[in-house]
A and B are shown apart, each in its own frame.
Chain A
Amino acid sequence: MNDAAGAPALISFRDLTKEYNVGGEIVHALAGVSLDIPEGEYIAIMGPSGSGKSTLMNVLGCLDTPTGGSYRLKGREIARLSDDELAAIRNQEIGFVFQTFNLLARSDALHNVELPLIYAGMAPKDRKLRAEEALRSVGLSDRMRHKPNELSGGQRQRVAIARALVNRPSIILADEPTGNLDTKTGNDILGAFELINEQGKTVIVVTHEEDVAAHAKRVVRLRDGVIETDFRQAGRRVEPVPSAPGRG
């Protein structure tokens, strides 16, 4: 099945490169990546350390800009946007879930979930309702006034998921979301991602764990800054994804 043939892809990379200058030596973290991610995808990006997957995630998450190539999000070229424009896209289009949860320690769960809405400029009353709704949807309606240190790891990650979802982004971008959790809790979280994906959101998980990647519909493996393999999997069945045009 070729998603790219129908509606334009949600995310479209063309010859994406990213170079770092490390002590006078140029490091090619991304050496020409082309990739299409249609809406509603659940994709795992894998690769050993140094493969460029973190860099790809940063660019994908609009935390960083590529050195070269094109990055279209919903058809809009964003590779050359300013910091503030990128901030707006992070706010509206992307929900982050981090390995270390990255909650504000001094704020309670509700306030943590409200943060994206604050930066979106939503009125206090509306955003409180929205944040409460988001926390309910991850099963934390009785933990809204708890601070992160009063919550278990799984609960913290669910707060983070609620925060990622609250501004209704098109993409959930998770970086090793189960890395700091035990297997059972990790599976709960992955279950939550599946549910989110079933509701139509695009989920992108960056991981080095095969177990985590197994939950995804599609797995992209990076090595040395280029895509090594790109497979669609259904259960245990693995089928290749047609190449995006221009992929080197």
Chain B
Amino acid sequence: MEFRESASIALLALRANKLRSFLTLLGTIVGVTAVIALISLIQGANKYVSEKLVTQGANVFWVDKFGLILDNDKFIEALKRKDLELADAVAVAGTAKLAAAVRAKKERNADVRFGSERVRRVPIQGMWGDYVAVDRIELQEGRHLTAADISRRRSVCVLGYQVWQDLFKGQTALGHEVRIGPNSFDVIGVAEEKGSFLGQSQDNYVIVPLGASDKIYGRRGSIEIGVLVKDAPAFEMAQDETRAILRARRHVAPGKDDDFGITTAEMFMQLYRSLTGAIFIVFVGVAAISLVVGGIVIMNIMMVSVTERTREIGIRKALGAKKSDILMQFLVESATLSLTGGAIGVVLGAAIALGVAAISPLPAEVSVIAVILGLLMSTSIGLIFGIYPAMRAARLDPIVALRSE
């Protein structure tokens, strides 16, 4: 028998029992919804994170006192380490041959004011070296800090886009003085907008010369060294080079661990992937459970359907339906049933993902693959759990079936 006949019988049966069909499909709907929503969110996030993190930080590594520490004990251990100093950065800049640009940064929060406007707790970045190249900061007006600004610790600053917007409301900031903490700084430049990353504005900062920042929050504190590597293939080697320079300067004995940490965008990526991977596995488990439950419910309802329609099966057999025709009819019916659930789940899941993306900083991307996966999954649930009821129907004796009420 042809597929269309079976599918139309199935849809007819679905429509005849709307509430029952909906309840039957609940498990499948929930399962597919979860899968689609999750895949969409994770895929969106993956794309977003890799774009932002990798393109912004490609060929750059950062050295600081801690590195990427996820362990509390290791963190406490790392607290005891010697601070990284400007002299360390100077040494790297002077001796590392594979480094294209080196900068040192110290960062702490302070309030920034202009006239009656005030922005609280802005990260004040004390910079030394070629921060323009390492941090890729483009200006929309004015100029960057010069080597002279930095060496003379001049009270000048470059405003992040967000800070400029908040203080100057779109008016030019050049030639004006802002107060950072207790001190006055001349605005010499305003950075272009970078946008936000996972809801965090990337434009909320003020750059001042390292040393000038001492006036705001004192001399204490470790610096972070940022290194831009000349060419990508030498990325690992460049890290080793810097590691060797710093180990020598800080007198780390051979065989002992570094007393500083090197971080790359790739490491963040890996951390991120392992986090989302764990979430993903948990959700896939939940989805799998609801799909199996959904499948059992479908099997149950198909058994009911076969029993209810025993006479119909008898009639069809009397008119020449083969076992395979009846089998096909009920398989197509259960597959159509679960596919309908899957389609509803896909729509709901996509709506949830896009809804979450709309009201939260989390991005989402509903991919064709996710949709196909959802539909495929639900259809196979229908097929797998429909086999037993369909075989029962196919094996019915036509005489017995015709006699049933």
Interface residues of A (CB under 8 A from B): 58, 61, 63-64, 83-84, 87-88, 90-92, 96, 98, 102-104, 106, 115-116, 118-121, 124, 163, 167
Contact = CB atoms under 8 A, between A and B. Distances in A.
25 contacts: A61-B318, A63-B317, A63-B318, A63-B398, A64-B399, A83-B322, A84-B324, A87-B321, A87-B322, A88-B320, A91-B319, A91-B320, A96-B319, A98-B402, A102-B315, A104-B312, A106-B16, A115-B315, A115-B316, A118-B1, A119-B316, A119-B320, A119-B325, A124-B2, A167-B320
A167 B321 CA distance: 13
B318 A102 contact: yes
A64 B317 CA distance: 12
Which size bracket describes the interface of B in this complex? 20 to 34
A167 B320 CA distance: 11
A113 B12 CA distance: 18
Interface string B381-403: 00000000000000000110010
B185 to A, nearest CB: 82
Nearest to B2: A118
B121 to A, nearest CB: 70
A35 to B, nearest CB: 20
Nearest to A122: B2
A102 B402 contact: yes
Interface in B9-58: 12-13, 16
B323 interface: yes
Q: A-B pairs with the 6 shortest C-beta distances?
A: A91-B320, A119-B320, A87-B322, A84-B322, A116-B319, A102-B315
A120 B322 CA distance: 10
A163 B4 CA distance: 20
Interface string B237-280: 00000000000000000000000000000000000000000000
A155 B273 CA distance: 69
A63 B396 CA distance: 12
Interface of B: 1-2, 4-5, 12-13, 16, 311-312, 314-325, 398-399, 402
Contacts of A119: 1, 316, 319-322, 325
A104 B317 CA distance: 12
A163 B2 CA distance: 19
Contacts of B16: 106
A115 B322 contact: no
A231 B207 CA distance: 116
Contacts of A121: 2
Given A104-B315, A118-B5, 13 more contacts: A61-B318, A63-B317, A63-B318, A63-B399, A63-B402, A87-B317, A88-B320, A96-B318, A96-B319, A102-B311, A103-B315, A116-B319, A124-B4
Nearest to B405: A100
A15 B1 CA distance: 36
A116 B325 CA distance: 12
A87 B315 contact: no
B315 A120 contact: no
Given A102-B311, A102-B315, A119-B1, A90 B320 contact: yes
A106 B9 CA distance: 9
A98 B318 CA distance: 11
B319 A163 contact: yes
Contacts of A58: 399
B322 to A, nearest CB: 5
Contact of A84 (B2, B5, B311, B323): B323
Contacts of B402: 63, 98, 102
A156 to B, nearest CB: 13
